[in-house]
Structure 1
Amino acid sequence: MGPSKWLAKRKRSPPRPVKNGGDGASATPLPNDEQLSSLPNMPKALPAVGLAACALQLVDFATKILISGHEFYQPRVGSGVDNAHLLRAVTHELYRLTEALNKRRSKKIYNEKRSGKLEDATQLLLRLSESTQEVIVQLIDGLNQAQAKCVGGESTWTNLREPLMTVWTKGAITTQKKKLQLQRKEIDMALLRALKAYIDQSSEKGLSMISLEHTQAYHQEAWQHEAIEAISTNDWKAKNKKHVEEFAKLVDNLVLAEIEARFRDLTFANLHFPEQDDRLHSISKPNEDSFQWIWNSRQQGKGSFPVWLGDTSGQNVFWLTGTRSSYHEDERQLIRETGKPGSGKSTLMKYLFRNEELFPFLERWSGHSPGILTGFFLWNCGTDLQKTTMGLLRTLLYEALQDMIFGPLDEDPSIVQRIFAERWKQFSSYGGGIHKFSLSELRTAFDLMLSDTTKKFLLMIDGLDELDDDPTNALTVLISASNRENVKVCISSRPSVIYQATFKDWPSLELNKWTRKGIQDYVLYAFDQNDTMFNIPAEKSDGTEERAIINTLIDKASGVFLWASLATEFLIQSTKESDDVSTIKWRVNALPQELEALLIYMFDNLDAQHFAQAARLFRLVDAHGYPSLLPLTSAVDTDTRSALEADTRPLTVGEVLTRTEKMRNVLVFKCKNLVSIFEAVPADSPRTSVEVANFAHYKVNYAHRCIRDFLRSYEMRSRIATATNYEAFVEDEYWANAHLWSLKTLQPRDGKLLIWDTLADCIEHALRLESNDGRVRLTYLDEVNATLAEHLINPATPVQSMDLPPGAMVNSFGDISVLLNLGNYLTIKARSADKKDLRHAIEYAKDVRKRLDAGGLDMFLGKRGKLRESYEKVDTDLASLLEYHTKSSLKLGSPKITRDMPEWV
């Protein structure tokens, strides 16, 4: 058999959402070595090309705003895009493009000093980019003024000049337009000089202009290759007007390619969310031998999974579930046979997902058509997007489109523009189309993607019962998809009534009937790894009783992996070296067979001190969502002021190991493995030394949804509240301490210090505590201030390397305080603040607010409710107070501005 037409899991750099309104370059992963090796040899993109590409995009977009002939895409009626939204989108795009150009300019263009025409042309491009930005600043100011005048109402403009005409004269607009058109010509000439100089240097030194080196922006490389060939063939010169005009037509292709690439990158960033694959990674790696039976169609009989994969009759849904409920034949009453949770459905789905053993079976169905395998693992213990139809569709689209474009299919990247045609029209017209997706829009895009009948799609959806929204939304999408001849859908869920009704006529598998061997392997392995189990002289036992104990455990598990793992680990922890087989046998017989009863039994057998520690940790995890491992090691500290005294320095490897090992012991021995640690990236993903040393990818969450649901039951909530002294234990105090500790121990990664999320979390929790009792956390915020100051003066992490809000440069925590309207804190600090620093903070806040209000606010505030509330609050008294304290002298008789002094701690 030849190579599979189905795409296996590719090793890709994990994507990151665009932050700070950047140019989106980080949103699209690098093609891997295998993909690059299939591309034709292309010249490595010159720094001059990258710099010019950024400048040209900016000039092109700004020019469109100023010309009456630009085809302005009018958003459809009822789209919610009013005048203010539209102008914010335009302004935000100008900010993004300007920032991308600034980043390009700040990069070191050469590793060593060079001389000659190539460097001269590059330096000219740098100067041209500076002069371009001067025009753009004026344009942004004009748009901001226009926005203040054009409030409300859906847009009826035919071009973007119209709103500018409310604040600028026709002559002023014409002047700005001419400046930009001149900039475009000069950039074209400078770029032509740079490429011509590169050709001449390569020729003089006898060097080949073709290189095997590749960068992410390989569309730039392709364009450069084409441009060099055209320049060489036609002998174009920058001094020849006609040559420059011909070259400008070629440059138009570069600008269009850049715009398309940016749209694609921003769309991927909009589809992606950080926790997308966390559930998949949290599932323990399956034992390969435990699931070999899944490939044996004879063993499973009619409707087996392998047969279904190759079936061409239209049976396009396969349901993986637990034991189903049934009805009594006479009384027609429901017999209680639970679809037991924890039966290993997710473990099997992880084993199957992107497993290459699928492909020979699938090819019986797909034939010669290429196949796309995509899926999503829902998680009710996770974030909103991990348990909703919205997150499901975003993931399926993201993964499938990435596969098509960057996988072996090498699909035309314009597929993104076709699927999101409405957004592409908005983006190419006025920089719009990067707003949040709606569910209906995602459904339309999903249908369009699947409508390509030249491809086959296998969708694998784990945990459909984990949905937190109306399940009919997801069911409608998936069943509709399965009605297509080119789509198969494999779904796992508990056998709830709605899923039984939906899937009763489709091929299915009740997993509980097939898991005995896997549970047996697990129990034997766990016992084998523990020295105290059955530690008796061989001559005193023939092994019969030991085998009976193991069989009793397996029988009691009734096919439920979760019961088997919890019971086995609990038994091992309860066993001492002095225990004999009879004692162990008694303990096994005492274990309740139902999962909930087992959990109650485990807690009843915990001593009070251990239960109190476990209860505290349960509350901390619930308050956070699911935290990263290292911050949690500080949140469990009983001293909520410990971070105030800590030094600002990275932890040593030894300190990290000590903390994480201590936490692991708490989770295993105090929490009885009900809360587990997992690594939120694939095992083979590349990691920096800092990420490895700090366990940066490790997170903590409940081992299973049913455990979380059990702990949230009325009885357990009451027990946990009593054990933790409910009112005295304020989770926000512990997390505030943990976030400050995290801020103090931050380490740079790849020369960047990712500080904003930790800093914002510190402020958010200080505001929560203040809201709770009315007292400003002055001591805490002053320590946040001091910690930020230490990071800002650290030469190893200059402020340019920090992911702080875009716009003006941060000088101090005072800048952030004014930006975020920390009213009570500023009321206390304003009197003693340095007037120069306070003036800078006010100007900083004005500049950054322009940038954030134009777009990108959600990226920086996220779901931090108190932070958003503070930022959006209009406090004219605070503004007056700050202005009052910036004045070096006051006129006689000037009114004194005062505010009531808040309480603080």
Structure 2
Amino acid sequence: MPNTLPAVILASSIVQLIDFSTNILLEDHTIFPSTDGSIPENPAVLQHIANNLTRLSSQIQRSDPRKLRADSKGAKLGEAARHLLKLGEETNETAKPLIDAILQAQASCLYGDPRWTTTREAVLTMWKEKDVTSMQKKLQVVRKQVDATLLLALRQYIDQSSEKGLLPFSIDGSGAHPRERWQQETLDIIRTNDWKPKNKTHVEEFSEKVNSLILAENEAQFYDDIFANLHFPEQDDRLYSIGAPVKGSFRWMFDARHQKEGSFLDWLGNTSGQNLFWITGKPGSGKSTLMKYLFRNERLFARLENWSGDSPGILTGFFLWNCGTNLQKSPVGLLRSLLYETLQDMIHGPLEEDPVILQKLFSDRWNQFRSYGGGMQSFTFSQLETAFELLVSDASNKFLLMIDGLDELEGTSTELIDLILRTVQRANVKICLSSRDTSIFRTAFNNRPTLTLEEWTRKATLSYVLRTFDENDTMFNMASEESDGTAERAIVNTIVDKSSGVFLWVTLATDFLVQSTSELDDVSLIRMRVDALPSDLEALLSHILDSLEMRDREQSSHLFRLVDAHGYPGLLPLCFANDTDTKSSLTVEVRPLNHSELLPRIESLRNLLKFKCKGFLTMFEAVPPDEASSDAANLTNFKVNYKHRCIRDFMRSKSSQSLTRQAIGFESFNTDEHWANATLWTLKTLPPKEDNMPIWDHVADCVEYALRLEDADKKVRLTYLEEVAHVIRSHKDLPVMDFPRGPAVESFLDLAIWLNLFGYIAIIAKRVERREVRHAFEYRRQMRKRLLFGGEEKCLGGRKMLKEVYMRPAPELDSLLEYYTKVVRIGTPKPSVEIPNWV
């Protein structure tokens, strides 16, 4: 049995909806103004209110005791639980008219209208005063019944536990949910005061205790929402993608014999105010590898204590990535990650900071949340900047921040550089950062402690070459045993010298030599190949690419284009996208693939990445090291991207394009066709996650690619979309639509009409029953009402074609739907709709 009693969970959900509904209808419950003192726009406020009412209503449905208890199958609910279920249903029914009134008020207002100071003013544009009063009375009655029923349930729990000789409910405090702590305190109070559910005074006293539960629940919800808005799924992917350094390559960082005044070791413990350390170097010299080596390295802490003293120390960081998503290469993504990681560490780590710190850092959002359920909009840079500066202004804590790859930012952010320079003026903050040695960073970080990495990497590059050659049997396979090793050493030294400290050059050149060498090659031939290697990194990339056979160049160019078109895909979706048959997904069964079906695809792609793409693309597992999979078939977290930004930039350059365009089939390769095939493969073979099947993003991706292809040749991808519909039908018993929350989805037609997929609808409308069309029409009406004024942004994400179609006026579609959703009399003309071409 979970620590929290099901009755408490359900009652809490009911009271949250009652209290929020009651508060927004009060005459003196004002709408919290923006930072500048202005009242937010009416539509935005009403959207937040409607969203919060819907969330709380759904929460009641999810709190059904029969769903919360794994051992409840066949068991009868007690009287109190049955009554709470009835009160929950009554509360939801009571709230429905209020949600409708809010949405109607929203739909009728314009952004230029005078701004309401209370929600009650908005509701009164739809209702009469007596309707509002009646709603308030209903809510008050239900609230009293919930308090009395919950007291009864807890009283019965105490009495039954006592009769059975069971230990009283207990928790071990610090990590418990606020609801669990409240429950324990309340059970103790009920036992101590002998509260009875039939005693009016006892119920009133108990009601005050319930108020404290709801306050704690609201605070916990706000904290969860803030963390959800700060976090983004891919924020640590760059860190995970960086390979481990060559063994022993960075030991010199912690070796006092190799250090001098102003070194990294000296800087860590320095208390003189030099709080910024700049690691710089050429592109590919290994700056990110060094930063990963230093990040949370235990050997930092002893030195840091000289600086931090007895103050609590917090270490966090972020690895920017120009080859990643927008958030991975933006100041907003950087600050979101730093705030998220730091606050998680402070609240849930050894410091056990009170979560109320979130109310202080995001005070405007907390007030908006309490006022009208707002405060959950996306963060702007200025808002994050304010919260960050408030966080580090607490001089009782010491902060070490590690920021890798400032040059990876998209564009140049002087605002971010200014923030960094202001921050390191504080005595309690140190920042270690890395970037290329460009003029903007040279100017900003002049006269700061600095390390130029390529000056220190000769030993590591030498070690890498020796180890790689030693592990390969074909390298230096001498026909004669008379060699004294001089020629071999000269080759190794030439490779190291040509690299000029650029570790990326060494890895690419060495791997290229290993793949190019056969057992019959002697040292002189290897020497010729080494001499032919350009010392410039871009020239080396051209040299390697030019060495590919035409067939190999075709295969590699396809993979490069697929990765470019997607961003950085998962390993298995990329396997699907690389299928030469772009219609293969149409005949796939709807079921997860087994081990024997996966491995051949994976091994084939791995070989392509290594031998055809020459290591330009790399595979990594986007999880912490302690969660890395030992199962080769567990592919969920494996992703593919360019090995380095330098390679990505080169592959997009004119010199690279002139080489790849020589490949057979380059011009005819349509990445949208391949990714459409891959997204349908992925959708059909999704592995189930416990009892949930979150497929909305996969469905939306399929629709996006279908629309792209339709836009290119004006042919509706009917067969393809019908397969998407088949998947939804196959999962009819699962909550397939994890997002957006709204009315139940009965078929793909619901989604098609909601999303304005006119071509698809025009073709199939006459094939389906009118009942299906009517349900889909109502689904569209409800969803568009709920997502009014910008709500579709989160739902549709960055899917450009899908958003364009969704927002496009559709009078022909409206006319068609009206015909199919109303009772048609004999002789009623059918709307004239041109049936589009389809495949």
Tell me which interval the TM-score lies in, with the shorter structure as reference length: over 0.9
Letter in structure 2 aligned against 1:562: L
1:225 aligns with 2:210: no
TM (normalized to structure 1)? 0.89
Residue 216 of structure 1, CA deviation? 7.7
- 2:261 match: 302
In structure 1, how many angstroms separate the alpha carbons of the residues matched to 2:741 and 2:166? 42
Specify the alignment match of 2:135 in structure 1.
176
* Counterpart Cα distance in 1 of 2:611 and 2:727: 35
How far residue 92 of structure 1 moved from its aligned partner, in angstroms, is 0.8
Larger relative contact order (CA 8 Å, sep ≥ 6)? 1
Tell me the secondary structure at the aligned position of residue 532 of structure 1: coil
| CA separation of 1:398 and 1:888: change in aligned 2, threshold 3 A | same
1:251 aligns with 2:185: no
Is 2:474 the partner of 1:535?
no
Q: Which residue of 1 aligns with 2:13?
A: 54
**Per-residue displacement from partner, 1:708-733 (whole Å, max 9, x unpaired)?**
11111112123323426554222111
**Structure 1 residue aligned with 2:424:** 482
Q: Which residue of 2 aligns with 1:875?
A: 810
**What corresponds to 1:289 in structure 2?**
248
SS of equivalent to 1:902: coil
Which residue in 1 is equivalent to 2:499?
557
Q: Alignment partner of 2:401: what SS? A: strand
| Correspondence for 1:658 among 585, 600, 603 | 600
- Cα distance in 2, alignment partners of residues 290 and 238 from structure 1: 71
Structure 1 gaps of 5+ residues are 1-41, 323-339, 793-797
Aligned with residue 434 of structure 2, among 481, 492, 502: 492
Kept after mapping to 2: 8 A contact 1:81/1:154: no
- Asked if the contact 1:530–1:572 (Cα under 8 Å) also holds between the matched residues in 2, the reply is yes
Equivalent residue, structure 2, for 1:736 = 676
1:105-254 → structure 2 map (5 Å cutoff): 105=64, 108-113=67-72, 119-153=78-112, 156-211=115-170, 218-254=177-213
The alpha-carbon deviation at position 476 of structure 1 amounts to 0.8
Matches within 5 A, 1:557-636: 557-636=499-578
Which has the larger displacement, 600-609 or 142-151? 142-151
Deviations 1:685-726 (A, max 9, x none): 28798xx73401011110000101111111212332342655
Q: Pick from 704, 709, 717: which aligns with 2:644?
A: 704
Residues 106, 780 of structure 1: CA spacing in aligned structure 2 closer, same or farther, 3 A cutoff?
Answer: farther
Q: Which of 663, 667, 673 pairs up with 1:723?
A: 663
Q: CA deviation at 1:288?
A: 4.9
The 2-side partners of 1:538 and 1:853 are apart by: 80
- Cα distance between partner residues in 2 of 1:115 and 1:698: 42
Distance change in 2, residues 1:729/1:512 (3 Å): same
User: C-alpha displacement at 1:755, in angstroms?
Assistant: 1.1
Once the two structures are TM-superposed, the CA of residue 303 in structure 1 deviates from its matched residue by 0.6
The superposition leaves residues 123-149 of structure 1 with CA deviations (integer Å, 9 ceiling, x where unpaired) of 222221111100111110111121123
Task: Classify the secondary structure of the residue corresponding to 1:799.
Answer: coil
Name the residue aligned to 1:356.
298
- What are structure 2's unaligned runs of at least 5 residues? none
Report deviation, 1:853: 2.9
Letter in 2 for 1:610: D
Range 542-551 or range 131-140, more displaced:
542-551
Alignment of 1:817 with 2:752, yes or no, is yes
Q: Deviations over 1:227-252 (max 9, x none)?
A: 11111111111111111111111111
Q: Alignment partner of 1:491: what SS? A: strand
Determine the C-alpha separation between the residues in 1 that align with 2:185 and 2:90.
28
Deviates more, 1:514-523 or 1:462-471: 514-523
Equivalent residues of 1:755, 1:803 under 8 A apart: yes
Aligned residue for 2:280?
A: 321
C-alpha deviations, 1:300-359, integer Å up to 9, x for none? 21111011011000000000011xxxxxxxxxxxxxxxxx21101000000111112111
- TM-score when normalising by structure 2: 0.96
Deviation at 1:883, TM superposition (A): 2.3
Q: Counterpart of 1:605 in structure 2: which amino acid?
A: S
After superposing the two structures, state which structure 1 stretch, 830-839 or 603-612, moved more: 830-839
Matching of residue 899 in structure 1 with residue 833 in structure 2: yes
Q: Does the 8 Å CA contact 2:695/2:736 hold for their aligned counterparts?
A: no
Q: How does 1:256-295 map to 2 (within 5 A)?
A: 256-295=215-254
**Letter of the structure 2 residue corresponding to residue 400 of structure 1:** T
Would you say the 8 A contact 2:465–2:492 is kept in 1? yes
Distance 1:650 1:114 in 2: 29
- C-alpha displacement at 1:803, in angstroms? 1.6
- Aligned pairs (5 A) from 1:33-48: 44-48=3-7
Tell me if the contact between 1:150 and 1:163 (Cα under 8 Å) persists in the aligned partners.
Answer: no
CA RMSD of aligned residues (A): 2.2
Contact 2:222/2:366, CA 8 A, preserved across alignment? yes
Q: Structure 1 stretch 595-604 or stretch 203-212: which is displaced more?
A: 203-212
Paired positions, count:
839
- The reply on whether 1:525 has 2:451 as its aligned counterpart is no
The one-letter code of the counterpart of 1:352 is: L
After alignment, is 410-419 or 811-820 more displaced?
811-820
**Which region of structure 1 is more displaced relative to structure 2, 102-111 or 79-88?**
102-111
Report the counterpart of residue 865 of structure 1 in structure 2. Answer: 800
Relative to structure 1, the CA distance from residue 688 to residue 85 in structure 2 (aligned partners, 3 Å threshold; closer, same or farther) is farther
Report if the CA contact (8 A) 2:554-2:665 is conserved. Answer: no
- Cα distance in 2 for residues equivalent to 1:52 and 1:505: 62
Alignment partner, residue 24 of structure 1: none
Q: Which residue of 1 aligns with 2:614?
A: 672
**How far apart, CA to CA, are the structure 2 residues paired with 1:747 and 1:784?**
16
> In the TM superposition, what is the alpha-carbon distance from 1:609 to its structure 2 partner?
0.8
1:343-382 aligned at under 5 Å gives the runs 343-382=285-324
- Matching of residue 833 in structure 1 with residue 771 in structure 2: no
In 2 relative to 1, CA 215–670 (structure 1 residues): closer, same or farther, beyond 3 Å? farther
Please name the residue that 2:486 is paired with. Answer: 544
1:574–1:321 Cα change, 3 Å:
same
Q: Distance between the aligned counterparts of 1:260 and 1:550, measured in 2?
A: 62
Asked if 2 retains the 8 angstrom alpha-carbon contact of 1:656 and 1:694, the reply is no
Aligned residue for 1:853, secondary structure, equals coil
Q: CA deviation at 1:546?
A: 2.4
Give 1:35's aligned residue.
none
Map of 2:384 onto structure 1: 442
Question: What secondary structure does 1:693 align onto?
Answer: coil
Q: Of 51, 60, 63, which residue of structure 2 is paired with 1:101? A: 60
In structure 2, the residue corresponding to 1:678 is in which secondary structure? strand
Q: How many Å apart are 1:873 and its aligned residue?
A: 2.0
Q: Which amino acid aligns with 2:283?
A: P
Contact persistence 2:571–2:639 (CA under 8 A): yes
CA distance in 1, matches of 2:664, 2:754: 37
Q: Secondary structure at the residue paired with 2:619?
A: strand
One-letter code aligned to 1:776: V
Letter in 2 for 1:903: N
- Offset of residue 458 of structure 1: 0.7
Query: Share of identical aligned residues, percent?
Result: 53
Query: Closer, same or farther in 2 for the Cα pair 1:698/1:104, shift >3 Å?
Result: same
1:5-44 alignment, distance < 5 Å? 44=3
Which of 694, 708, 713 is 1:768 aligned to? 708
Is this contact kept in 1: 2:65–2:81, CA < 8 A? no
> Are 1:395 and 2:337 counterparts?
yes
- 3-state SS in 2 of match to 1:313: coil
What are the superposed Cα offsets for residues 174-214 of structure 1, whole Å, 9 maximum, x if unpaired?
11111111111111112111221121122122222244579
8 A contact 1:128–1:187 mirrored in 2: yes
Label 1:106 to 1:650 Cα distance change in 2 as closer, same or farther (>3 A): farther
Aligned to 1:516: 458
State the partner residue of 2:406.
464
Query: CA 1:776 to 1:115, structure 2 compared with 1: closer, same or farther past 3 Å?
Result: closer
